[in-house]
Structure 1
Amino acid sequence: MDSSQTAPGFETSDVNQRLRPPRRNTRVVGRERLLAQMTEARRHNCVVLEGAAGSGKTSLLGAWYQALLPFSFDVAWLTLSAEDNDLSRWLDDLITSIGQVDQEIVREAALLAGRGKDEEATERALIALVSGISRRTQHLVLILDDLHCVTDPGIHETLQWLLDYAPANFHLAMASRAAIPVSLGRLRDRGLALELGMRELRFTAAESEAFLKAQLGEVSRRDARRMHELTDGWVAGLQLLSVHLERNRGAKDGEAAPQLTRSHLLDARGYAEYFEREVLARLADVEVDALVALASCTTFCASLTVALTTNGAQDGHHDRALAMLARLEGDHLFVESMGEAGGTTWYRFNPLFRETLLLRFREWDAARQRAVQRAAWVWFREHGKPDDAVRHAVLAGDAAAAADLVLEVAQQLRLRGELRKLLGLMRLLPAEEIRSRVGLRLLEAQLQLFAREFDACAASIPQLLADVPVEDRRARFRLAITRGALAVHYDDVETMTALVPELLAVPDGADSVGIGGANNLRSWHAMHQGDFERAREIQTSAPALFIDGAPLLGTPAGALFSRCVMGLSYALEGRFLQVERICRDVLAESDRRGNEAVEAACIAAALMGEVLYEFNELDAARQLLEERIELLERTSIPDSVLRVLRVLSAVQWMAGHQLDAFAWLERLEEYGVQYRLDRLIAHSLADQIQRHLECGQHTQAQALLVRLEALSEGIDASMPGTRAQVAVQASRGRILCEIAGGQDESAAARIQQLIEVCDAHGWQRDAAHFQLLGAVVDRRRGQVDKARQAATSALRRGHRLGLMRSMLDVGPEALTLIVDAAPSDPADAVLPFYASRLQAAHLAVHAVPASAGAGTQRPGESRQQASGLDLLSERETEIVRLLMHAIPNKRIARALSISPETVKWHLKNIYGKLRVSSRDEAVALIRNAHPGSGETS
C-alpha cells in the first residue's frame, strides 16, 4: 500500500519512518497464510509483492519484518516516494537504509556513492555495497516499499545489479503497484524468487471475517462473507467499507445498532471517492464511459468493449480497446486479466470498483441502460455464451427471449455436465416465465435433483403430473425419469416399481439422454429387487446411444454410467472380481472426461474403493476415497455413499484409529438422517455395534441395538427392496450382541435365518460372511464337524467371489477355522491355496502393531511432535481439547460456531503440525504430553 495512504492495520508517522516499517495498529489481522510462504522463502534472493493500492502489501511486509527477527536475520527497510526518483538520492537512501543495520557494511559504498552519476560509478558503489554485505555472516533482507514511485531507468538498473551481484546472504523484497522493473527469469528458473500478486494478496474469506471483526467489533459470518465477495478480498476495500458501515450503522445513545442489509453492503458512497481519486481521475472521459458500460458485464474483452461503446463498429476500435484494457491492467487500476479463451483475453473489475462504476451506470437514463444491456445480450448470444446472454436479455426487458434461450441451450449444457451453469440460468428467469412453460418446469425439477433439493422436487411433481398433457408422451416420459431419479435418491424401490411401466413406454422420437436414463433406472430397480442378471441384461441388450453422431458417454444416461450400474449389480451380489474389471477402466475414462462424467466417476470410485478394501489394499482404498468423499456426498446416489463411508471407517479401524473409524460411521448416520435413508442408518448402527463390542463397550452397543431394532420394526427381511437390508442389519446387530453375551444357541439360529435371507436376495457375499460367522459360533458350541463343514462351504463361496476382508472381518476366531477347514479334502488344492492367501492377508495387516499407525516412529520424532503442540493456534487447541472427548466433527463445529468444513481444515493443519495422521494419534500424543488432560469430571 502507498505510504501516502493510510494502510489498513498501520498508522502513518513522519518522514523518518521511511527507514523502518510503519507502526502496526492494534486492530491488524495476521496474514499467517502469506507469512508462512514468505518466511519459508526467506533465503530466496528475491521476494516480490505486486498489487493494487490498498492490497495490504505494506502491512504484510511489516509483519514479515517482525517474523524474520527470531531467525537472526537483519532487516533494512526503505519506503520510497516520488522524491526518490533521482539516482543520487536513491543511492543515498539505499545506503542509509542498510547502514541502519550496520555502518560497517556501507562504509566503502558511502564513500563511492555520489562520485559521478555515470553508469560505471554507480556500479562501483553497488559492488562495494554487496561486498560489504558478503563479508557478514548474518543474513540481510532489504525491503523496498512503494517501488512504483521510482521510474528512473538508472534506478531500475541498480536494482538489477543488486539482484545479479547479490551474495547468498542478501535478500531483496520489493512491493509495488506496477510491474517490478527487473528481470527475474534466472531466479525463477532456480527457484529463488517468490512472487505474490493480487490473487495471493487478497484476503481469504476467513481473513476477511477476522479483519472485519477487528474493525467493527462484531459482524455475522453471513455479512462478513458478503463483504468479502463484494470487495474480492481487497484489503483497502474492506477497510473503507468497514469504516462506512461503522458510521452508518451507529445508533443514538441507548439504541441498538441497526442490522446490516444488502443496501448497506452495496452502498458505494463510502469508497467512491477513493476510486475517483486513484483511478477515474487518471482516465479520459471516453474511457470512463467505456468502463461504466462494461460494469454491466461480469467479464469483458476488447470485442465486447467495442460492441457496448461504438454500436458494434470494429474499424480501429478493437485495437484501441485492447490497448486500453492492457494499460489499465498493467497499471493495477482494478482491471485484472483472467487469461485467454478462444484466442481472446478476458478481463474483470475488482468487485468493489465495479460497484462504483455501476452507481454511475444506474444514473444513466433507462433507454441508454437498456441499449447497453441489449448490445451485451446480442454479443453474448452470438459468441456462444448463453449464461451472460440470458442475464442481459432479462435486464434488457426481454424475459421471454431469455426463457426461450434457456430451453434452447439446456440439452447441450446437460451433456457437458454444466448443470451448475444451467441452474444459474434458471434462477435468472422471472418466476412467471418458468410457470408458463412446462418444459422449463420439468427442467426446474431436474435441476432441483442436481441441487439436492429433493423435497422441493417432490413437491413440484404432483402439479406437473396434473399439468403435463397425457398426449405429450415425450414430456410424460421425461417426468417419469425425473420421478425415478428422485426415487433412487430416496432409496425408494416401491415407487420405482410403480414407475417401471412408464419407463418402458419409450415414446417415438425420445432422445438418447432419456433412453439411457430410463435404462439405468430400470437396472437399479432390478438389482434392488434381487434380479441381478436382469439388471445387467437391460444394459447389454440396449442399443448404443449417440448424440449428434458421437457416442453418449457422460451424464447419468451415458455408457460410462451404464457400466457403473452393471458394476453396482455385481457389488450387491458380492462378485468383486467382475466389479474390479469394470470400474478400473470406467474410473480412468471418467476422470479424463471431467464434469460430463462426474456421476460415473463417483460411483466407479465408490465401487473401486470397496474392491480395494475387499482385496486387502487398505492404503490404496483410503487414498482413493478420502480425496473424493466431499464430491461423492454431494453428487452421488446412496449406494455410493454407503460404500465409501463404511470402507473409510473399516480402513481406519484396521489401522488402529478407533476415533476416526467411529467418526466415519457417525458421518454415515448423519447423512442417512439428513436424507431419511433408513438403509444407511441401519448399516451405520450395526457397524457401530460391532465396533463397540470389539472394544468391550457392551452398554453402548445395547443402546444402539435398541435404536436399530426400532428402525426395523415392521419390516419383513424376505421382501424385495432396499428396506430388507434394514431388517438384516437389525438381525446382525442382535446376533453380535448375543455372541458377545454368550447366547450362542440363539445366535446360531438367527445366523441360519440370515443366510437363507441373503441367499434368497442373491447377496452372496453377505451369505458367505454369515456362513463363516455361523461356523465360529458352532465351534464355540462344541460342534466341531458342523463348524468345519460350514467353514468349508463359506470358503468355497468366498473363493468363487474373490472375497478376502469379508471373510477375515468375521473376527479373529475365523482365521483358525479357515486354516483348519482348508485341507479337509486332500484332492482339493483350491481351498488350501485360498486359505493361505487369507492367512497372508491377515499377517500383512497385523505385522505392524496398530499403535504404530502410519509407520514406525523415528528417533526424536516424539520430541518433534511434542514441540508441535506449541505451534497450535488458539482455535486448533480448542479443537484438540474436544477431540480428546471423542466428539465428532459436526458437534465440534456446533460447539465452536464454525462449519464442519472448517473443522476438517483445522484438523488437517493440526495433524501436519503434530506430525500425525489421525485423531487417535493426535489424542495419544496430547495425553502423553499432558497426562490427565483428557479426563472428564
Structure 2
Amino acid sequence: MPKRTRYLLIWSEETGRYELQERDSNTHTPFQEDEKWWRSWLTQQKSFAFQGRQGHITLLKEARKRGTDYWYAYRSQNRQTSKKYAGRTADLTIALLEELAESFINQTVPHKVGTPEPGLPKVNLKVDLQVEIPHPSPPYETTALEPKFRTPRLQATLVARERLWDRLDMGLQSKLILVCAPAGFGKTTLVSQWLNERCVTTIPVAWLSLDEGDNDPLRFWRSIITACQRFHPHIGHASLALLSPTLSPSLGFQPLETILTSFLNELARNTCTGIIILEEYHLITETRLHETLTFFLNHLPPDMHIIMLTRSRPAFPLVNWQARGELCEIQSAELRFSPEETRSFFQQTLFPSLPIPLSDELLHQINARVEGWAAGLRLLTLSIQSRSQQAKFEHVLKSFAGNQRSLQEYFVTEVLNVQSPKIQHFLLRTSILTTLTASLCDALLGRHDSQLLLEKVEQAGLFLEALDGSEAWYRYHALFAEAMRAEAQHLLDKETYRSLYLKASLWYEQQNLYTEAIETAFQAQDIGRVTILIEHLLETSENFVFGRSIFQRAPEFHTLRRWLEQLPEEVMSAHPLLCLGHAEAILFVAIMRQSAPLPPAMQQLEKALQMAENGWRHSGNQARLGEVLAFRAMVLRQPGAMHEAASYARQALALLPAEAVASRMMSRWFVGMGEQEEGNLNTALEAFLEVQAFCEALGHAPIKRANTVWLSGLYYALGELQQAAESYRQLLDEARLAEDIDDICDALLGLAQLSYEWNELATAEQQARDAFDLAQQLNNSELQVQATLILAHVELAYGDFSVAQRRCIAQLTSLPAALPQRSRLMRELQAMQAQLALAQDDFVAFERIWGNLTPVHELPHSQRNRETLLQARWLLRQDQAEAALDLLETMLPQAQLEGRTGTVWEIQLCMTLTHAALKHLPTARQQLQSLLTHIHAAGYIRLFLNEGEPLAALLQSLLPIVRGGAQRAMLKRLLHAFAQQRSTTESESLLLEPLSTQEQRVLHLLASGHSNPDIARRLTVSVNTVKVQVQSIYRKLKVNNRVEASEVARTLNLLS
C-alpha cells in the first residue's frame, strides 16, 4: 500500500463539485474538467487519494520497463488491503474512479442469492468472501513485443523503385499482397520505402516482425490484434480478453475462428482502414495458424489489407484468391534490380568515391555476377568502398560469386575483417540477439558505450537497421546475423559463447521479459536457470492457469509445451510444478485445436500427472496435491466419465485450502456435473448455484456465463420454465455484450426450446435457425444437432413431416466421422426420425429405425427417458396399453427421485392417456386434473398439444368437473390452443393445395404490410425467392394481389 499521498481529489457536497486538495495546505482548488489539464496532471503524479460519492480509494502508478505506466486502485479494510487494476493514464476518468470506489464497497457485501422458486432446494452457499482474491491483470502486455511492432527506419540513400511502388499501389485493390523471395532481395526495404513515399499520410499501418516463437497461436493472434490497435485505440480489447482464456465448465476455449469473428466485426463496426504487414512469415510453420489466417483473410473488411513478406509461398488457397482478384504477388524476378536501378544504386552509394567510371561494360559485369540481388549489391559496395585502386576493385568484382553459397566467407573476409578490433568484437558478440538496444548490449559486453557503437555500425552500413520508435532498437540483416553467429561459434570458446546467452537471459529477466529470458537460457544450455524461470512463470498469478490464478491471462501453451519437452526427465521428476504445467500444456494445446489429445499425448499427460502427484505426495504438499486431483477431474470430464471426474473433484476439495478459490470452484463445478449425470438434479443445482455465487462475488463474467448454461438447463429439467427463461435471457444479453458466440448459441437454443414448449412456434423456429447458423460458424456438431432437433419438432408441430425427415437425414450425413460423440448424436437424430414415423402412423418405418438405433456405451438420462417414452407411445398405438402402462410405471419413480419434474409430468400425461385407452376414465381424469394444478405456473402447452385429439377429448370432459381457479384457467387455455390448432388445419384443408411452412411465414409478413425486400431480409433468403413464394401463395389462394391474399387468409383463419 502506498504511503500517505500528497494530493486528495475529493467530492464536495457543499459546492457540488470535485476539488483538488494538497494535504499540507488548507487550500481547495476546484477540479478543472479539462481533459488536457487532467492528463497533464496525472502524468506528473505517482499517487493520489480519491474521496468520491461512492467511497475512498488510493491510486498508485506502477512503471513498466520500456512500456506504458499503469494505475492501480487500493483500499484497506479490516487490516486487509485490496488492489484492482485501474488502467493507463489515458483511461482514468472521474466516472471510472467512482466505479472503482463503489466496486470495493460491493466487494465486502456478501452476495445475496434470491429465495429459491417453489419446489427448488434451499442452498447454503459456503462462499468465503474474505479470502484475498487475485484480480485480473492489465491488458495483454506489449512491452516484450515492442520492437516487433516497429517499422525499420529507412536509410538516407535508396533507389526509387517506382515500378514496384506502382505494383504495390495496384495491390491495394486486393486483400493480400504477397512479397515472396529468398533472403536479401529487399522485401522489407521495398515495402518500408513504399509506405514512406506513398502511404505515410493516407493509410494507417500495423507492422509485425514475426519469429519462430510466434508459432504459438495465442501469441500470434495477440500480437496481430495488438498491432491493429494502431487503427483505432479502442478495438481489440474484447478479442484480447478472449485470447486470454479461462476455463469453462466444458473446458472449451473459444475457437480461434470465433474470436477472430468478434475482432473482424469490431474492425467493420469502426470502419477501420489500414494495412497489416507480416514480416518473416516463412518462420510460421504451425498449420493451425495458416488455417486461421486464411479464415481471417477470407473475411477481412474491404478497406483492410495484409502485406506478407516471406521467403517461401505460404500454405494458403492462393490460386482461388488469384482467380477472385484478391491476391497481388511480387516474386524475386520482379524484385531484382534492373540495370538502370543498379546504376542508380552505385551512383547514390559510392559517388564520388567510385574508383573507376561505371561504364556499360562494367555494369554488365556487375549484373552478370549479382543478378540484381539487393543484398549482393549492398555487400559489393562495402567491399568497393575499402578499395582505392582499379585492380583491387576488379578483383573484388571477379571474386564476388553473386550467390548465397559463399556469403558467410564473404561477409567475414570483406566486411568483418576490415573493421577495427573494437567493432569486430561488438559485431560477433551481439549477433546472437534478434533485436538490440544499448543497455542489452552493455550487459552482454560489460561496457557503457554501446549506443555510440550501434550508431557507428548503422552509419557504416554494416547490415544493421534501426527500428522506428521513441527508444533506440536495432536489428541485423538476417543473412549477416547468421554469418556473424557462425563466425562467433568458430572463434569463441564454448564457455564464452554460452556466457553471452546467459548474460542476455539475465538482462531479459531484469526487464520482466521471461519468454526471452527462458529462450536465451536454453541457448546458454543452463538447464538449472531454465527450470527456475519456468517455475517462476507457473507460480506467478499472470501466467499459471490452474491453481489459484485461473482468472488471469493463460500462458502460451504451445510455447510452454515446447520448453518442457526439452528438459531431461530427471529434471522434470524433481519439479512437480513443471510436470503439472506439462500436463496442462498437452491438454490445452489439444483443446485449442478443437480435438482430443491423441493416445501418445494422453500417455505423456498421464505420466506427467503421475510424476507431479508422486512428487507432492512425497513432500506432503496437500494443497498442490489437491490441484493435481482437480486437474485429473478436468481431464476426465466428458459424458460417461463424469462419475470418476466428480470423485477426483471431491478428493481435491478435501485437500485444497480456502485460498485456492479457483481450484475449489472448478472442483465444485465437476461435482455438480457428476451429480447431474447421475440424476441427482437438486444436488447438482446446489453445486451450480454455489459456483454462480463465486463468479458473481469475483466478478468473473466468462465462467459465470458458462455456468449459467448448465444452471438454466437444470431449471428446465426441474420444470421451472420461467426461471429457465429468465436465466437464458440474462445469458443472451451478457453474451451478446461480450460477443461470445458460443454462449449466444447456447442461450438461443435454450430459449428456442422454451418457446416451443409455450407453443410459440414461429419464435422457436427463428431462435433455432439463428442458433444453427452460429453453430455452423463455430463448426460445433453438438450444437448443430440440438438446433436441428428443435427445428424438426417445430416442423412436426406444423405437420411438415417430410421437411423434418430431410433435415434429420442431412444432419446425420454431415456428422464428421472422427467426432468423439458421433454415436450419441446419431442416436438422438435417429430417435427423432422414429418419432416422425410414429406421428405419421408409419409403423414399418418406426420398427426399422428402432431396430437399427446406433449403439451407445452409456446413454445420458435425458435421452434414455425420451426413448422410453417413445417406446411407450408406440406400444399404446399398437393397442398394447397394459405393456405401455407397465413401462411408464417402471420409469416414473426414478424420474421422481432424480427431480426431473418436466419428465415426470410427461410420463404422467402418457399414463393418463393409457388409463383412458384402458377405459379407466375416472383415474385418467383424476390424474389429468392433478397435472393441471402443478403445470399451470410453468405454462407447458406443447406437452399437451403433441398428444393430439385423444387428450383434447379428455380435457373437454373435465369442463363440468373443474369449475374455477388455476385449474380452470389452464384447462381453458389448453382447449383454446387445441381449437386454434384444429382451426388452422381445417382452414388449410379448404385449399386445393396446402401452403408450405415457409409460405405460411411469407403470408404472415405479407399480410402485415412488409415489402418483398423486407421479407427476404427477415427470412434470410433472396428477394427472387420471396417473389416466387408470393406467386405460389397467390396461385394457391386464387388471388392476384396482396390485398386479396390478406382478405382470403383472414377469411380462412390462416393468420391465427
TM-score, normalised to structure 2, is: 0.46
Q: More deviation in 722-731 or 600-609?
A: 600-609
Which residue identity does 2:536 align to in structure 1? E
What is the match of residue 437 of structure 1?
Answer: 575
> Is residue 326 of structure 2 the alignment partner of residue 180 of structure 1?
no
Residues 881 and 914 of structure 2 are in contact (CA less than 8 Å); yes or no, is this contact kept in structure 1? yes
Could you say which residue in structure 2 is the equivalent of 1:687? 832
* Among candidates 952, 956, 964, match of residue 827 of structure 1: 964
Counterpart-to-counterpart distance in 2, 1:625 and 1:293: 59
Residue equivalent to 1:402: 530
Deviation string, structure 1 residues 623-645 (Cα, Å, up to 9, x no partner): 246425665959xxx9x898567
CA distance in 1 between partners of 2:953 and 2:833 (Å): 25
Q: How many angstroms does 1:228 deviate by?
A: 5.2
Cα–Cα, structure 1 residues 197 and 467, in superposed 2: closer, same or farther, change >3 Å?
A: closer
Distance change >3 Å, CA 842–CA 380, structure 1 → 2: farther
Asked if residue 393 in structure 1 is aligned to residue 521 in structure 2, the reply is yes
**1:380–1:388 CA contact under 8 A, matched in 2:** yes
Q: Who is 2:669 aligned against?
A: 520
- Count of residues in correspondence between the two structures: 636
1:724-743 alignment, distance < 5 Å: 724-725=861-862, 727-735=864-872, 737-738=874-875, 743=880
Partner secondary structure for residue 534 of structure 1: helix
Q: Secondary structure at the match of 1:393?
A: helix
Alignment check: 8 A CA contact 1:473 1:507 kept: yes
CA gap of 1:774–1:53, structure 2 versus 1, over 3 A, is: same
- Residue 808 of structure 2, aligned match among 638, 654, 662: 662
**Does 2:423 match 1:276?**
no
SS at match of 1:505: helix
Q: Distance in 2 between matches of 1:775 and 1:296?
A: 82
Residues 564-579 of structure 1 aligned to structure 2 (within 5 Å): 564-579=709-724
Cα distance between partner residues in 2 of 1:781 and 1:355? 90
TM-score, normalised relative to structure 1: 0.51
* Structure 1: segments with no counterpart, 5+ residues: 1-17, 23-33, 39-45, 56-147, 152-175, 210-224, 242-270, 716-721, 866-910, 925-937
Other-structure match for 2:820: 675
Q: Indicate if the aligned counterparts of 2:639 and 2:860 stay in contact, CA closer than 8 A.
A: no
Query: What is the CA distance between 1:444 and its match in structure 2?
Result: 3.1
Structure 1 residue 403, shift from structure 2 partner: 3.6
Query: In 2, distance between residues paired with 1:651 and 1:283?
Result: 78
Q: What is the distance in 2 between the residues matched to 1:770 and 1:515?
A: 38
Find the counterpart in structure 2 of residue 217 from structure 1: none
2:900 counterpart residue number: 763
RMSD: 6.6
CA distance in 2: counterparts of 1:510 and 1:422, whole angstroms: 25
Amino acid at match of 1:686: A
The correspondence for 1:582, drawn from 719, 722, 727, is 727
Q: How does 1:472-487 map to 2 (within 5 A)?
A: 472-487=621-636
Alignment equivalent of 2:774, drawn from 623, 627, 632: 627
Per-residue deviation, 1:481: 1.2
From 523, 537, 542, the equivalent of 1:412 is 542
Q: How is 1:870-889 mapped onto 2 (pairs within 5 angstroms)? A: none
- Structure whose residues are more often helix by fraction: 1
Alignment correspondent of 1:266:
none
Offset of 1:573 from its aligned partner? 2.2
Superposed counterparts of 1:777-796, under 5 Å: 789-796=926-933
For the residues of structure 1 that align with 2:427 and 2:806, how far apart are their CA atoms? 54
State how far apart, in whole Å, the 2-side matches of 1:735 and 1:509 are: 50
Contact kept, 8 Å, 1:822 with 1:835, in 2: the verdict is no
Counterpart AA for 1:402: V
- Partner AA of 1:769 in structure 2: E
Unaligned runs of 5+ in 2: 1-162, 182-189, 205-230, 232-267, 283-288, 295-309, 319-326, 335-369, 384-414, 989-994, 1007-1011, 1014-1019, 1033-1056
Change in 2 beyond 3 A, CA 1:858/1:791: closer
- Residues 222-261 of structure 1 aligned to structure 2 (within 5 Å): 229=314
Q: Secondary structure at the match of 2:896?
A: helix
- Report the more deviating stretch, 647-656 or 387-396: 647-656
| 1:574 to partner: Cα distance | 3.5
Question: What is the alpha-carbon distance in structure 2 between the residues aligned to residue 842 and residue 296 of structure 1?
Answer: 79
CA spacing shift, 1:633–1:546, aligned 2, 3 Å: closer
Maintained 8 Å contact 1:609/1:622 = no
| Pairs within 5 Å for 1:122-521 | 179-180=197-198, 229=314, 276=375, 364-365=488-489, 374=502, 377-378=505-506, 381-410=509-538, 411-413=541-543, 414=545, 415-416=550-551, 418-419=553-554, 421-429=556-564, 430-432=566-568, 433-450=571-588, 451-452=590-591, 453=596, 456=602, 459-460=606-607, 468-469=616-617, 471-496=620-645, 498-499=647-648, 501-508=650-657, 511-521=660-670
The structure with more radius of gyration: 2
Q: What is the CA deviation profile of residues 459-513 of structure 1, one whole-angstrom value per residue up to 9, with x for unaligned ones? A: 4456665554163312321122123223432432432464465144134465111
Distance 1:751 1:773 in 2: 8
In structure 2, C-alpha distance between the alignment counterparts of 1:839 and 1:344, rounded to whole Å: 77
CA distance in 2 between counterparts of 1:666 and 1:375 reads: 60
Identity of aligned residues (%): 12
SS where residue 655 of structure 2 aligns? coil
Distance across 1 between alignment mates of 2:533 and 2:980: 59
Is the 1:574–1:764 contact (alpha carbons within 8 Å) kept by the matching residues of 2? yes
Residue aligning to 2:45: none
**Aligned partner letter, 1:412:** E
Q: Distance in 2 between matches of 1:545 and 1:562?
A: 11
CA shift for structure 1 position 761 = 2.0
TM-fit CA distance, 1:769: 2.9
Q: Secondary structure at the match of 1:397?
A: coil
Query: Structure 2: which amino acid aligns with 1:537?
Result: E
Other-structure match for 1:877: none
d(CA) in 2 for partners of 1:447, 1:441: 10
Q: Which amino acid aligns with 2:581?
A: L
Cα offset for 1:827? 0.3
Cα deviation 1:775-814 (Å, max 9, x = unaligned): 5566667766665555554454443334455555x35558
Deviation at 1:724, TM superposition (A): 4.5
Report the secondary structure of 2:198's partner residue.
coil
Q: Which amino acid aligns with 1:444?
A: H
In the alignment, the residues of structure 1 paired with residue 687 and residue 293 of structure 2 have an alpha-carbon distance, to the nearest angstrom, of 54
- 1-side partners of 2:511 and 2:984: how far apart? 58
Cα deviation, residue 519, structure 1: 1.8
Q: CA deviation at 1:400?
A: 3.7
Q: What is the CA deviation profile of residues 286-321 of structure 1, one whole-angstrom value per residue up to 9, with x for unaligned ones?
A: 9999999999889x7979997899889798689979
Whole-angstrom distance in 1 between the partners of 2:745 and 2:647: 28
Query: Higher relative CO (CA 8 A, sep ≥ 6), structure 1 or 2?
Result: 2
Aligned-residue offset at 1:438:
1.7
CA distance in 1, matches of 2:695, 2:769: 36
Kindly state the Cα deviation for residue 571 of structure 1 after the two structures are TM-superposed.
3.4
- 1:846-875 superposed Cα distances (whole Å, 9 cap, x missing partner): 99732449757999xxxx99xxxxxxxxxx
1:86-140 Cα distance to aligned partner (Å, 9 max, x none): xxxxxxxxxxxxxxxxxxxxxxxxxxxxxxxxxxxxxxxxxxxxxxxxxxxxxxx
Closer, same or farther in 2 for the Cα pair 1:381/1:589, shift >3 Å? farther
The structure-2 alpha-carbon separation of the partners of 1:532 and 1:53, relative to structure 1 and needing over 3 Å to count, comes to: closer
Is the Cα contact below 8 Å between 2:583 and 2:606 reproduced in 1? no
